[in-house]
Structure 1
């Protein structure tokens, strides 16, 4: 059979299959099961009781509470669910138990088929040191480094001199870049070893480490292999996975723009040799490190013994449904095509959509998805030329318990340029409101000149981000706002007008529009301008002065009415759209379509259905980018001022700076003592969440006062520590009388009557508002320093 044609086999390999996963990949597997006429069984934790994969499956079984260790990682619970529902096979997806030999053996004992490789192959390749030793004997090139597992820190320090710096510290177990730390010098190595061991122990239950020579400016290329139980091993070409941030893949494509036909054939032969070396069965991926200036000099990194996140790009260029092939191989069927049948047609590019805040160092974001528009893109291998594999919909709650990937946007084209253009268009049309995402960042990245030209290496994103924050010098005059309105400014204006307008046609106070709607009108006088103060994800305040109604207004960007020239603006419903939250924003001479949500009116539009939040949040999607803002009312403004004064010098000549938690999670380490003198940049607390380790550092020299201990569950914006710093004797100390302890009520317009917060218990045992992805920051946060996360 030709690999680009439908499967020649029409028989169902199984009648019932349990999917031991959640989110996007669970939905992806369920889609193929449905197409093949196979009954699907989903499993879920308490956090996922209402999730999309639960609703899309034919049957769903609860397997435990929210923590993955007590649910998705519980081998016995997963197998028991399969037995109870009559499932003949278990598909593990990726992550969780996908590479756990214990699940394979438990399936064997229960008489259930595991859709994946034999446990011995999985065990060998899970040990990166053993894998490198093995494949080297089969003629596969490997990087210089340690080949022994179980080495102590002292052994690794001694071996580092032979490996040479810079080097990469890697967990022996696990994958996906998780726990990898770069050490550029001998001085960096002890901290790198400590961090890598913590992540490895907590994530894989094995703190073994190895060292590997770091290749500067490498490309990351991987080869998809398939093997059946009848001795056939073949490959489906390579994928370029070089665009990474902190060792985590962001954008992938197939084929690689750097690999020619001859190199592709050599890579494929090496990958098949790796698979044969362990008697591999099923779908797997052999990962290679490729010098950017010499792609032919590739070296083996590791083998992932499962389906990869980025498998859709291979499906789009080959026409092969990899999940179907996994199922058929697991059922004992031979592969229905040979190596010569595999054809690479066109080009495909995938971008991972994460719940994260690019403005806050890409920290994971949590919250409730209020609005979700998939732009009409279908999911699964049959979707072309654009594809959106997603695990969310409107109402989904994104918690800190699991990996923050929400969806994968994929596009196919006749060539790379067409695929990139189609992907950018899809990313611009997908709307997610209520949770911060990286959609805007992905579009910026795809527009980069080096990305467009295919000049890739694993450090490109870091350079791209560094360049994005550098000031741009220009001698050209700035155009007036009437003729040049940036996307950022447009989002601010849209948010301000939406803050004055309810989702259901009400005004900002919940009353019906009409002659009594608040518009600043007053008898025998000009309209009174209303100031809407917004806070974005970085904590920056943006003020919009509005005169008139949202449908007919003059708006001024700035802190004072004379801070800029007024611009005519209006926000009206988009005629012809069934979605009530879609509108047309006219700003000056420009009109754009916007999608918005005012959290003061979340629900069905009736006052009884309001979910009050304090402060109010407004989300808008403008020109392919989404943004969330907190609308400051009097009470919130007063609280911000009080907290700002709290970190100013006190009468005792000392000042305190709170160090706040940037993501909800678990405290895994507190490497300083309470009362210890610390220097700026010293790690005070380490928090882990969403497969990510994040160090909270001292913002200044001073004395550390700790507020948390290892094992504590912490919430977003919780104070984890305070740094007290002594000030010079001549530092002026403000008097409490210097500033009143109340907001300037002439400057603020309270946009909502709701003053109290409805808290929802989050799944980590803390309390936090579900609705908000980023409450208004009240103090500068330390720079994020997360480790790696996620499946590759």
Structure 2
């Protein structure tokens, strides 16, 4: 066995922080690596030492094998933990570590290659009797061969990239009419994400549930599974909420699917922690099919750590077992020693705006408040001052609730999300709470299509109540009042004047149009009137106080506490998992003409990079016609023409980096205005 006294973590964000904290508990010195974009990141602060590995581009930093191994050499690290993403499933990196005399805390390169290629993976596990979905996994299929395989399998079918996962390059094709277009799009996205556009075809299982099994294997031939996770709540094949165990499986099926997962791990000589993914029909829960194996730690591993028990003990740490296995220690337990106790549910908190098609957001984190308490866990990669950009994955944190039953876990997770506040960056927390409240989610009758079916309901915008605008005004009032027992009345900005009280007026824009709040008096005893586009409210009493960073506002007899921050004229408030950004004295401009048509500007809906540009000056276009394809976070987004007309100007080109709301092209409306 080998002893590690220094381990380099070749990753960033919440997973790097999570690994570093386990290393600290084990008494192992941790080394963080960072790009220029992450010099002030939380994982850098958490580590014992940190090494710069390049500019903000991932290709020149976190994906640079040479720079990571140079950092390991310079810091004396005997092992590298790859986390997930980046180089975690890169067999070239695993081999390079071995050649450099550094232990790769993960499976052998041969296992990564066997399971990393979906076609080869299916051929490998078939020998172990693991059931496979009908379809074609032949390598190197041409477009015509992919087309024929899809038709033979029967629609609907899934087109999947052979070289990777995470939903990148995956397409659901309902019928033959869109097949050619979907094949081209899938190949393009797979090539961009993985450098390999090889596709395979699978029949799409109706009412599918995504069930995955955690496995753990040592270098002595021992393999165990630690139960399953339900990962069916997805959007565009990206997981949103995960739980352990699944409410679908009975014990007999749980045993069979666990045995199949262990068999898949044995088939490729697996070592370390890994995940075998299956698709299960909700209509036939005793029937399951192998999808793929992830040769790394999964984002959702905390729910297994909280729900599984080894020999009656709780608190499994999978990172600890990764380190021990990599050092050569055998697993000191067998399958019979492992059981599932309790329940755990995890929600992924992303920097994205669900009300705008889940477009990635960014900015500076002005405040990050994490929930705490029994049955609540947070794995986070952010802190106040963190800069969130489009350079990397938009996941900020994971919030996990656990309890004796599924309902206990769901309740604790919802409460924890309600107490989570991230200000300065728009997040998906409100969407997560809405999804958790969905009747099918509460009952456990979910499937992978639930989110897409009810997306409009789940992402509906909620108006901003008068209370929030009052809170923004009262925050400004209470923050401006001098502290201390002795107050000069001339220093109090309460509108006081000789002869009569006066009113302070604040105007805010927060998504509902311009709202004016008039306040008369001091923060401890004020009168407020709210003037919204819907009308003017009557005068009401209000008071506010600041206590340890919490703003508590009482309005019309109802009290509410907010986390708050203010920068550049914008007040950020958060309560109950929702967050609002209210900008003072910002006049909203109507960008439409009197006829309700757009002004013809085609703007970028997100920061990203242009993959496809089909717009040319002088071109006639119709409303909804595709003009550009923009890539952000390795996902493609189509930008269409907002009006019928003629393109008068194209301001961007393929490969160009875009800012949010940047003008890409201008269209002259084909409808002539009538003379006065």
Rounded to whole Å, the distance in 2 between the matches of 1:157 and 1:514 is 80
Question: Is this contact kept in 2: 1:390–1:408, CA < 8 A?
Answer: yes
2:235 maps to which residue?
245
Task: Choose which of 7, 17, 23 in structure 1 pairs with 2:7.
Answer: 17
SS in structure 1 at match of 2:669: strand
Question: Is this contact kept in 1: 2:591–2:598, CA < 8 A?
Answer: no
Question: Is this contact kept in 2: 1:487–1:622, CA < 8 A?
Answer: no
Question: Is this contact kept in 2: 1:522–1:528, CA < 8 A?
Answer: no
1:548 maps to which residue?
520
SS in structure 2 at match of 1:288: strand
Would the alpha carbon gap of residues 187 and 725 (structure 1) be closer, same or farther in structure 2, given more than 3 Å must change? farther
Task: Choose which of 645, 660, 669 in structure 2 pairs with 1:702.
Answer: 645
Would the alpha carbon gap of residues 276 and 396 (structure 1) be closer, same or farther in structure 2, given more than 3 Å must change? same
Aligned ranges for residues 384-403 of structure 1 at < 5 Å? 385-403=375-393
User: RMSD across aligned C-alpha pairs, in angstroms?
Assistant: 2.5
Residue 188 of structure 1: CA displacement?
1.8
Would the alpha carbon gap of residues 350 and 469 (structure 1) be closer, same or farther in structure 2, given more than 3 Å must change? closer
Rounded to whole Å, the distance in 2 between the matches of 1:294 and 1:360 is 36
Would the alpha carbon gap of residues 341 and 585 (structure 1) be closer, same or farther in structure 2, given more than 3 Å must change? same
1:619 equivalenced with 2:562 (yes/no): no
Residue 553 of structure 1: CA displacement?
3.8
Task: Choose which of 652, 658, 665 in structure 2 pairs with 1:714.
Answer: 658
Rounded to whole Å, the distance in 2 between the matches of 1:554 and 1:210 is 66
Task: Choose which of 337, 343, 350 in structure 2 pairs with 1:347.
Answer: 343
Runs of at least 5 residues in structure 2 that lack an aligned partner in the other structure: 309-314
Residue 394 of structure 1: CA displacement?
0.8
Task: Choose which of 172, 182, 207 in structure 2 pairs with 1:192.
Answer: 182
SS in structure 1 at match of 2:631: strand
1:573 maps to which residue?
546
1:285 equivalenced with 2:253 (yes/no): no
More strand by share: 2
Rounded to whole Å, the distance in 2 between the matches of 1:557 and 1:212 is 57
Rounded to whole Å, the distance in 1 between the matches of 2:609 and 2:38 is 20
Runs of at least 5 residues in structure 1 that lack an aligned partner in the other structure: 1-10, 378-383, 473-485, 600-612, 735-792
Aligned ranges for residues 652-691 of structure 1 at < 5 Å? 656-691=599-634
Rounded to whole Å, the distance in 1 between the matches of 2:196 and 2:52 is 28
Question: Is this contact kept in 2: 1:674–1:706, CA < 8 A?
Answer: yes
Would the alpha carbon gap of residues 492 and 465 (structure 1) be closer, same or farther in structure 2, given more than 3 Å must change? farther
1:59 maps to which residue?
49
1:732 maps to which residue?
674
Would the alpha carbon gap of residues 181 and 492 (structure 1) be closer, same or farther in structure 2, given more than 3 Å must change? farther
SS in structure 2 at match of 1:296: coil
Would the alpha carbon gap of residues 678 and 560 (structure 1) be closer, same or farther in structure 2, given more than 3 Å must change? closer
Residue 144 of structure 1: CA displacement?
1.8
Residue 521 of structure 1: CA displacement?
5.4
Question: Is this contact kept in 2: 1:665–1:687, CA < 8 A?
Answer: yes
Would the alpha carbon gap of residues 623 and 514 (structure 1) be closer, same or farther in structure 2, given more than 3 Å must change? farther
TM-superposition CA deviations, 1:9-64 (whole Å, max 9, x none)? xx984111100000100000001100110010110000000111001111111000
Rounded to whole Å, the distance in 1 between the matches of 2:583 and 2:419 is 24
Of residues 565-574 and 18-27 in structure 1, the stretch that sits farther from structure 2 once superposed is 565-574
Rounded to whole Å, the distance in 1 between the matches of 2:304 and 2:669 is 56
Rounded to whole Å, the distance in 2 between the matches of 1:297 and 1:547 is 64
Rounded to whole Å, the distance in 1 between the matches of 2:488 and 2:17 is 42
Write out the 4+ residue segments of structure 1 that deviate beyond 4 Å after TM superposition: 468-472, 499-502, 504-507, 516-526, 647-650
2:94 maps to which residue?
104
Aligned ranges for residues 405-416 of structure 1 at < 5 Å? 405-416=395-406
Number of residue pairs matched by the alignment: 665
TM-superposition CA deviations, 1:75-99 (whole Å, max 9, x none)? 1111111111111110000000000
Greater relative contact order (Cα < 8 A, sep 6+): 1
Residue 368 of structure 1: CA displacement?
0.6
Aligned ranges for residues 321-720 of structure 1 at < 5 Å? 321-376=317-372, 385-468=375-458, 488-499=465-476, 502=479, 505=481, 514-515=489-490, 518-519=493-494, 527-528=502-503, 530-536=505-511, 540-549=512-521, 551=523, 552-559=525-532, 563-574=536-547, 579=548, 581-599=549-567, 613=568, 616-633=569-586, 637=587, 641=589, 644=591, 656-704=599-647, 705-720=649-664
